[in-house]
Structure 1
Amino acid sequence: MIKIVTDSTCDLTPESIEKYGIHVEPMLVEIDGVTYRDGIEMTRDKFFDGLPRFRDIPKTAACSPGSLLEAYRAAHRAGATGILSVHISARLSGVCAAANIAAEDARAEGIDVRVVDSMSLSMGLGYLLELAGEMREKGATLAEIGDALDAKRLEIRMYALIDTLTYLRKGGRVSNLSAFVGELLKIKPLVHVKDGLITTIDKARTRSQGIDRMFEDAVRFAAGRKVLSASIMHSTGPIERDLQDMASRIRTLWGIEPVAPRVVTPIIGTHTGPAGLGLVVILA
Structure 2
Amino acid sequence: MKKIILSVDSTCDINHELMETYNINSFPYTILLDEKVYKDNVDITPPEIFNTYFEKKILPKTSAINVAEYYRYFKPWIDDGHEVIHINLGSALTSSHNNCSIVANELKGIYPIDSQNLSTGSALLVLKAANMIKEGLSAQEISTRLNSHRGNIHMSFILDTLDFLYAGGRCSKLSSLGANLLKIKPVINVDNSSGAMDVGNKYRGSLSKTIPKYISDKLSSYDNINQDHIFIVHSGIDSKYIDLAKSVILEHMDFDKIHVAVASCTISCHCGPNTLGIAFETI
Same fold (TM > 0.5): yes
Give the distance between the partners of 2:252 and 2:271, measured in 1 at CA: 27
Give the distance between the partners of 1:9 and 1:90, measured in 2 at CA: 12
User: 2:30 aligned with 1:28, yes or no?
Assistant: yes
User: 2:98 aligned with 1:97, yes or no?
Assistant: yes
Q: 1:257 to 1:51 in 2, by over 3 A?
A: farther
Equivalent residue of 1:52, what SS?
helix
More moved, 53-62 vs 82-91 = 53-62
Give the distance between the partners of 2:259 and 2:128, measured in 1 at CA: 17
Q: Which amino acid aligns with 2:268?
A: G
The residue that corresponds to 2:74 in the other structure is 72
> Structure 1: 5+ residue runs without aligned partners?
none
Give the distance between the partners of 2:16 and 2:28, measured in 1 at CA: 14
User: 1:186 Cα deviation (Å)?
Assistant: 2.1
- Asked whether the 8 Å contact 1:218–1:281 carries over to 2, the reply is no
User: 1:234 Cα deviation (Å)?
Assistant: 1.0
CA-to-aligned-CA distance 1:146-194 (integer Å, 9 cap, x gap): 1121122111111101101110000011012221222222222111112
Equivalent residue of 1:248, what SS?
helix
Give the distance between the partners of 2:58 and 2:51, measured in 1 at CA: 15
CA-to-aligned-CA distance 1:102-135 (integer Å, 9 cap, x gap): 21222xxxx2221111111211211211221221
The residue that corresponds to 1:267 in the other structure is 266
Q: 1:146 aligns with which of 114, 122, 143?
A: 143
The residue that corresponds to 2:16 in the other structure is 14
User: 2:124 aligned with 1:127, yes or no?
Assistant: yes
The residue that corresponds to 1:57 in the other structure is 59
Q: Which amino acid aligns with 1:89?
A: G
Q: Which amino acid aligns with 1:77?
A: D
- Asked whether the 8 Å contact 2:226–2:280 carries over to 1, the reply is no
The residue that corresponds to 1:85 in the other structure is 86
Q: 1:62 to 1:131 in 2, by over 3 A?
A: same
Give the distance between the partners of 2:138 and 2:259, measured in 1 at CA: 30
User: 1:233 Cα deviation (Å)?
Assistant: 0.9
> Structure 2: 5+ residue runs without aligned partners?
none
User: 1:209 Cα deviation (Å)?
Assistant: 4.4
Q: TM-score, normalised by structure 1?
A: 0.90
The residue that corresponds to 2:4 in the other structure is 2
Q: Which amino acid aligns with 2:233?
A: M
Give the distance between the partners of 1:199 and 1:246, measured in 2 at CA: 22
The residue that corresponds to 1:223 in the other structure is 223
- Asked whether the 8 Å contact 1:92–1:197 carries over to 2, the reply is yes
Kindly, what percent of the aligned residue pairs are identical?
A: 27
Count of residue pairs brought into register by the alignment? 278
Q: 1:178 aligns with which of 160, 175, 178?
A: 175
Equivalent residue of 1:9, what SS?
helix
User: 1:204 Cα deviation (Å)?
Assistant: 1.6
More moved, 66-75 vs 176-185 = 176-185
Q: 1:2 to 1:224 in 2, by over 3 A?
A: closer
User: 1:137 Cα deviation (Å)?
Assistant: 2.0
User: 1:69 Cα deviation (Å)?
Assistant: 1.5
User: 1:50 Cα deviation (Å)?
Assistant: 5.0
Give the distance between the partners of 1:226 and 1:200, measured in 2 at CA: 25
The residue that corresponds to 2:43 in the other structure is 41
- Asked whether the 8 Å contact 1:32–1:54 carries over to 2, the reply is no
Q: TM-score, normalised by structure 2?
A: 0.90
The residue that corresponds to 1:234 in the other structure is 234
User: 1:217 Cα deviation (Å)?
Assistant: 3.5
Give the distance between the partners of 1:54 and 1:261, measured in 2 at CA: 30
Q: Which amino acid aligns with 1:204?
A: Y
Q: Which amino acid aligns with 1:91?
A: A
Equivalent residue of 2:12, what SS?
coil
User: 2:164 aligned with 1:167, yes or no?
Assistant: yes
More moved, 147-156 vs 210-219 = 210-219
Equivalent residue of 2:228, what SS?
strand
Q: 1:209 to 1:260 in 2, by over 3 A?
A: same
Equivalent residue of 1:60, what SS?
strand
Q: Which amino acid aligns with 2:16?
A: P
Q: 1:26 to 1:119 in 2, by over 3 A?
A: same
